[in-house]
A and B are shown apart, each in its own frame.
Chain A
Amino acid sequence: GENVEQHPSTLSVQEGDSAVIKCTYSDSASNYFPWYKQELGKRPQLIIDIRSNVGEKKDQRIAVTLNKTAKHFSLHITETQPEDSAVYFCAASLNEKLTFGTGTRLTIIP
């Protein structure tokens, strides 16, 4: 099956700076890569996703890049704000199953 590794496990950045979270996956057949944001005690919320036929996707302050050759994808958050503080999960889809990374706890320092 698929294996997804996510780094770092915790990340603190100053408000206004950028944050980058990286994930690698093991199976080159994986074709869909969503990112979820989960606030404490809440549901995971889909914030952005990318498919294997696309290299980059942006949505306002959030962007995701995919390198199929290296089998890694990254989440970039620019101009971070206090409300960006949460746990972020990456995931990879293979054979109709989503495999999640272990999460990154992002803290924005005012």
Chain B
Amino acid sequence: DSGVTQTPKHLITATGQRVTLRCSPRSGDLSVYWYQQSLDQGLQFLIQYYNGEERAKGNILERFSAQQFPDLHSELNLSSLELGDSALYFCASSVNPGGAYEQYFGPGTRLTVT
């Protein structure tokens, strides 16, 4: 157990809908990262927050947004969902900002869009 928690574990929804994924970092970690893992595309970095502020952006679609709250938990919002958004969504956390520090992954949320 990495200490990073994610809810829900599974999510099934229809195209066009909006969902919110939640992540709580390890105690003491200020940075949260979101990744998408599709069967054929590996782990893709979406976005990073550090202490409430957006720190770095990857290949995140405009239909997706995220935020980090004062208690350091983070939410990833996915809207106008398409079949291709079906994937595992992981969040990870680290003590410091930037990619050059150990990142610990949560158990992931499996999103299925039908």
Contact = CB atoms under 8 A, between A and B. Distances in A.
Same complex: yes
B58 interface: yes
Contacts of A91: 43
Contact of A46 (B48, B98, B103, B106): B103
A10 interface: no
Give the one of B33, B97, B101, B106 with max A CB within 10 A. Answer: B101
Nearest to B59: A1
A28 interface: no
B8 interface: no
Interface residues of A, number: 24
Nearest to A51: B100
Interface string A82-110: 00000001010111111111110000000
A97 B56 contact: yes
B42 A89 contact: yes
A102 B55 CA distance: 25
Interface of B: 2, 33, 42-45, 48, 55-56, 58, 90, 97-108
Given A34-B102, A46-B104, A98-B99, 6 more contacts: A32-B99, A36-B105, A42-B107, A43-B90, A43-B105, A45-B2
B102 A46 contact: yes
Given A43-B106, A96-B48, A31 B100 contact: yes
A101 B13 CA distance: 30
Contacts of B100: 31-32, 51, 93, 96
B2 A43 contact: yes
Interface string A19-47: 00000000000011010100000111110
